[in-house]
Chains A and B, each alone.
Chain A
Amino acid sequence: MFAIYKKEMRSYFINPVGYVFVGVFLTLAAALCCYTTLQSKSYSTSSYFFYLILGMIVLIPLLTMRMFAEERKMRTEQMMLTAPVSITGMVLGKFLAAFTIFGGCMLVSLINFFPLYVVGKAEAALNEDSITHIGPVTAEIAGSFIGVLLVGGAFIAIGLLISAMTENQLSAAVITIGALVLMLVLNVLNSVGDEAEGTRLINNYVIRYIIDWFSMISRFTNFQYGILPWASLLYYVSVTFIFIYLTVRVYERRRWA
């Protein structure tokens, strides 16, 4: 597993993919942070993290598209599958490599909040007698940060499964983006319209509840308030593991086919 992790990490940086991901992710994060907080004169980071998730829908597939599709195409998976490494180890190694790149970028992007804190401190110093808190709320940022990491993990797991099912990087990326966008669309459909005016698109409460329960986006809202609900934590971790498990099954299944 460690050998595969090492190999994947290296291959991110001998290919342009790793640099593209890191570059675009950090630029996007910085621009979003600037736009949603400083530009719009707000200390709230909730829209920053929300837009970041939207960006991840396009960026995460960059990390996962190559993983299995390329190995299948180049027939190098034969080497891994005949080496003394379990399939679970192989999938986990790849997952961890993608997650390391993503997590690393997230850590670096924390630097975006530095000017926010500086400004917040200056403004608080001007209004010493203010009763309300002035400046960014650390708990909110921490909660959202953990939430985004979890969402990213789940996205990576979904991308891995799709990459394992295709033989072409590009189709892996496109299908992954499609699947992630579909989740977003479901979420939007769910909240379209107004209850009071009777213009709700989905009137059935049960369907709405189910979509809401499964939606990765609406689960995220709790984190934005600096809350770490067990249900949501468990939900994201489970989704990640289910998709990793399915990826392993895809490989097992192929052996038996």
Chain B
Amino acid sequence: MIKISHLVKNYGSLCAVDDISFEVERGEVVGFLGPNGAGKSTTMNMLTGYLSSTSGTIKIGGVDILDDPLNAKRLIGYLPEQPPLYPDMTVEEYLSFAYDLKGCKLNKAKHLKEICNVVKISDVSHRLIRNLSKGYKQRVGIAQALVGNPPVIIFDEPTVGLDPKQIIEIRNLIRTLGKEHTVILSTHILQEVQAVCDRIIIINKGKIVADELTENISRAVENTRRFNVKICGPQKEVLSALRNLGGICYAEVLAARDGDAYTYMIESEVGVDIRKKLFWTLAEKKWPLIGMEALGMSIEDIFIAVVDKTDDGKNDTAKKKRSVEVNRAAAEKEMASAIVDRTADEAQSRAESAEKDTDSDSEYYTDYTIKTDTFAGGKSEDK
């Protein structure tokens, strides 16, 4: 669906994107990762025809974006980094403008209503965009990208400014879109990539440094074996027992406390499944194990490792890396507790909206199948 070959973009002497090539198939959700200034937004702007490349070709659905920009752009829905909103229009007017601008041929009222329902902005459709909160603005931006139901959807940081519940909704939406559409999204939130994308492309200093299926990365994550365990018992003794247990290379107490139980983070040695052994050890000592949770934080480690590795290793980054290594325990502690909190929040909000979400999930799906049918019909006629 999208084919990029040897894409280069220079801003004067600065090389923002340096010889990038990749392909994205129909129905694939690709996550675009990278540190700030890596060239993510530039690549997306070139993909959508906002910027021209210095050299290289971009083909959307077989149409070159420079040769036939209008037909290529017709296939794309784009949410830029900053949603392109007119503050003095109402949401309704704005979407209607987007509809006219894209020259859609779907049933206007029905189509726009559907989109408003999908991104949940129906209740603000008569309000001025100027007066909306950031999260709503972001959602209007997403709605604008969906107008016309284009087969390729490109999101530049779609969940910025949304609350946790909305983030989950948008992720579900992206996952649903991914069934029929080709989706590319860039983000800083690593969990998001893991949750939503089939494939992850990491880009650093204008070059692709990793292009991997999410499954493979998840498998790597499982190998690192980090757990949060919740154990009832005297804190110091439990901790020293954990540290002395063969197969555990790292253990520490996290802040979270629940009655007489503390949460510990442990990391097992590579290739060792510590869970059973841990259970029996604790059972012998009569310290009940009341919770165990595998931590998916290693995707961060992978990301950092990949980015560090690909940096020149001469300047600040090397220093930073060294200091990171020195402070590793402290940094990890912070990171881990943050993740614990976040996971807890997410779990809670997920639990709260569990029923609703499953319902709306299927709703999204049916909505989109109807629309995709009409759209596919129109498109095949065009071709």
Does chain B have a CB within 8 A of A81?
A: yes
Question: Hey, what's the 0/1 contact readout for B68-99 against A, CB within 8 Å counting as 1?
Answer: 01110110101010101111110001000110
Find out whether the CB atom of B49 lies under 8 angstroms from the CB atom of A79.
no
Does chain B have a CB within 8 A of A80?
A: yes
Query: Which A residues are in CB contact (< 8 Å) with B84?
Result: 74-79
Interface size class of B (residues with CB under 8 A): 20 to 34
> Which residues of chain A have a CB within 8 Å of any CB of chain B?
2-4, 6-7, 10-11, 14-15, 74-86, 255-257
Most chain B CB atoms below 10 A, which of A15, A75, A78: A78
3 closest residue pairs by CB, A with B: A3-B100, A79-B84, A76-B84
Q: How far is the CA of A182 from the CA of B102 in the complex (A)?
A: 40
Q: How far is the CA of A256 from the CA of B71 in the complex (A)?
A: 20
Output the nearest chain B residue to A5 by Cβ-Cβ distance: B100
If A82-B78, A84-B103, A86-B70 touch, whether A255 touches B85 (CB-CB below 8 Å) is no
Say which residue of A11, A75, A83, A256 sits within 8 Å of B101 (CB atoms).
Answer: A83
If A3-B101, A14-B89, A84-B70 touch, whether A79 touches B52 (CB-CB below 8 Å) is no
Does chain A have a CB within 8 A of B204?
A: no
Q: How far is the CA of A10 from the CA of B92 in the complex (A)?
A: 13
Find out whether the CB atom of A6 lies under 8 angstroms from the CB atom of B100.
yes
Q: How far is the CA of A3 from the CA of B148 in the complex (A)?
A: 14
Q: A68 to nearest B CB, angstroms?
A: 14
Output the nearest chain B residue to A3 by Cβ-Cβ distance: B100
21 contacts between A and B (CB under 8 A): A3-B100, A4-B101, A6-B97, A11-B88, A74-B84, A74-B85, A74-B87, A76-B84, A76-B85, A76-B86, A78-B50, A78-B80, A79-B101, A80-B101, A82-B49, A82-B78, A84-B103, A85-B101, A86-B70, A255-B51, A255-B52
Query: Which B residues are in CB contact (< 8 Å) with A79?
Result: 78, 80, 84, 98, 101, 144
Q: How far is the CA of A257 from the CA of B85 in the complex (A)?
A: 24
Q: How far is the CA of A33 from the CA of B76 in the complex (A)?
A: 53
Q: How far is the CA of A14 from the CA of B90 in the complex (A)?
A: 11
Q: How far is the CA of A26 from the CA of B71 in the complex (A)?
A: 44
Query: Which B residues are in CB contact (< 8 Å) with A3?
Result: 97, 100-101, 103
If A75-B82, A76-B84 touch, whether A84 touches B50 (CB-CB below 8 Å) is no
Q: How far is the CA of A74 from the CA of B85 in the complex (A)?
A: 7
Does chain A have a CB within 8 A of B48?
A: yes
Q: A89 to nearest B CB, angstroms?
A: 9
Residues from 1 to 38 in B contacting A, C-beta threshold 8 Å: 11
- Chain A interface main SS type: helix
Q: B182 to nearest A CB, angstroms?
A: 16
Residues from 329 to 348 in B contacting A, C-beta threshold 8 Å: none
Q: How far is the CA of A78 from the CA of B306 in the complex (A)?
A: 32
Find out whether the CB atom of B88 lies under 8 angstroms from the CB atom of A14.
yes
Q: How far is the CA of A7 from the CA of B95 in the complex (A)?
A: 11
* Additional A-B contacts beyond A78-B78, A83-B98 (20; CB < 8 A): A3-B100, A3-B101, A3-B103, A7-B97, A7-B101, A11-B88, A14-B88, A75-B80, A75-B82, A78-B45, A78-B80, A79-B78, A79-B98, A82-B48, A82-B49, A83-B102, A84-B74, A84-B103, A255-B52, A256-B52
Find out whether the CB atom of A84 lies under 8 angstroms from the CB atom of B100.
no
Q: How far is the CA of A56 from the CA of B147 in the complex (A)?
A: 40
Find out whether the CB atom of B88 lies under 8 angstroms from the CB atom of A81.
no
Q: How far is the CA of A78 from the CA of B78 in the complex (A)?
A: 9
Q: B246 to nearest A CB, angstroms?
A: 58
Query: Which B residues are in CB contact (< 8 Å) with A11?
Result: 86, 88-89
Q: How far is the CA of A31 from the CA of B11 in the complex (A)?
A: 53
Q: How far is the CA of A85 from the CA of B85 in the complex (A)?
A: 18
Q: B87 to nearest A CB, angstroms?
A: 7
Q: A122 to nearest B CB, angstroms?
A: 49
Q: How far is the CA of A175 from the CA of B80 in the complex (A)?
A: 30
Find out whether the CB atom of B88 lies under 8 angstroms from the CB atom of A84.
no
Output the nearest chain A residue to B98 by Cβ-Cβ distance: A79
Query: Which B residues are in CB contact (< 8 Å) with A255?
Result: 50-52
Q: How far is the CA of A83 from the CA of B80 in the complex (A)?
A: 12
Find out whether the CB atom of B87 lies under 8 angstroms from the CB atom of A84.
no
Find out whether the CB atom of B89 lies under 8 angstroms from the CB atom of A84.
no
Residues from 37 to 73 in B contacting A, C-beta threshold 8 Å: 45, 48-52, 69-71, 73
Q: How far is the CA of A81 from the CA of B88 in the complex (A)?
A: 20
Q: How far is the CA of A8 from the CA of B74 in the complex (A)?
A: 22
Query: Which A residues are in CB contact (< 8 Å) with B71?
Result: 84
Find out whether the CB atom of A81 lies under 8 angstroms from the CB atom of B144.
no
Find out whether the CB atom of B88 lies under 8 angstroms from the CB atom of A83.
no
Query: Which A residues are in CB contact (< 8 Å) with B80?
Result: 75, 78-79, 82
Query: Which B residues are in CB contact (< 8 Å) with A4?
Result: 101
Q: A90 to nearest B CB, angstroms?
A: 9
Query: Which A residues are in CB contact (< 8 Å) with B85?
Result: 74, 76
